[in-house]
Structure formats: structure tokens, C-alpha cells
Amino acid sequence: MNVASQYLPLVAHHEAGHAVAAIVLHRQTFDDDRELPAFSSVSIYPDAGDGECGGVVEGTVFYSAQGFTSELKPIFENDMDRHFQRDDAIREIVACLAGPFADSAFEGYLDPRDMAMNASDGNEGSCDYADAKRIYGELRFLMPRRPDWGRIEDCTARLVLDHWSAIEALAAHLLVKHDLQFDEALTIVAPHLPPMPAATPPERHPQPA
């Protein structure tokens, strides 16, 4: 077994963490998984001869950093617009951190604080943390008082722990089939997630005679 293949299970859990988090967070807004998928595909890449392996979840974006500063502040159409942008920014941070936190859980760090510390130490300088920190910096322009970073880490840890069986199931399939489309991934994780709430039928009004 070469070095890259030794790390492939960790990579699989990392990408599965991102993917499962995207599905769970997406369900907070949408009541149909397939109408607007949380991502397009999730993949891992074994050693290609350079001793490295990696992975990616394609097409999952709740919020993109806008580069807001004291001089360039966001403009909201109304309070609801501000509310949506704030919530989407927090979801994007959690989705970014879920991969590194899944790494920590896979390595046996199951206490939320230990999980957060290990994830931070092992992923310092990574694009996951860079994106999460960049968006966290913009939260001060999206809400009167942004949540403490530790609170976001705690929410991420609990999401990973609460949905660990889904993450493990998806990671196991990624190790066999290295690329999964969204529908395939959803079929794998759905049995491990709480059922979607039943859609509320439209209210029917009696028709005049």
C-alpha cells in the first residue's frame, strides 16, 4: 500500500462530510432534495503517480464571499434579503468546515472541542478554512452581531456527529466507486437521514355554487 492509498479513506470521509453537510443544510431551506440538488457530484482521486490523493464536491455553494469592507458594504432589498444572506453565509461556513471535522471524527476525535482543535491544526491554510474565515469576516456586514466562531465550530461538530452513519456510508461507496453523481449519493445517505417532512397540500377553499 503506497502513502496515497493509506490516506484515501481519510479523503473519502472528508468529501463525504462536505457532501452530507450540504444535503442536511440544503434541507433547511428546500423541501425537495432533487428539485434543486445540494451539489452535482462528489469525487475522490486516488494516487495518480505523484504520491497525492484528493477529492472534491462539485456545485455546492450557499454563499460566495463578496469582498465586503467598511467602504464596500452590502445593499439589501429588505430585511428578508438580509436574513437570507446571513443564513446562507453561516451555512456555507459550516459546509466548508464539515470536511475537516469529518477528518477529525474519522481519526477518533469525538468531543466537539477536540474535533475543532484537531481540524484547525490539520487544515490550517487549507482552502476549506480560508473560505470559511473569509465568509466569517463578512458576517459583520450581514448581521448586527455575528455568532462566536466557537459556536459555529460546535454546530459543525454536532452536525457531523449526528449524521456520522450517513458520512460513513457515503465514504464507503466513494472508496469503491470514486465518483458519484448527486442522485447516487442521495440514495446512499437518505436511509441514514431523518425523513423529509411531508409537503403541506395547498389550502382548498370551497367553490361558490
Record: fold of 3-192: Methane Monooxygenase Hydroxylase; Chain G, domain 1 (1.20.58)
Cell of 180: 458519484
Cell of 155: 454546530
Of the pLDDT bands very low, low, confident and very high (cuts 50, 70, 90), residue 7 is: confident
d(CA 57, CA 113): 26
Q: Of 72 and 134, which is predicted with more confidence?
A: 134
**pLDDT value at residue 209:** 47
d(CA 190, CA 169): 10
Answer yes or no: pTM beyond 0.85.
Answer: yes
Q: 46-77: per-residue pLDDT in tens?
A: 875 566 788 999 998 888 777 666 666 666 66
In percent, how much of the chain has pLDDT > 90? 58
From 169, 161, 163, 174, select the one nearest 12 (Cα to Cα). 174
Of the pLDDT bands very low, low, confident and very high (cuts 50, 70, 90), residue 2 is: very low
Domain edges within the chain? 3-192
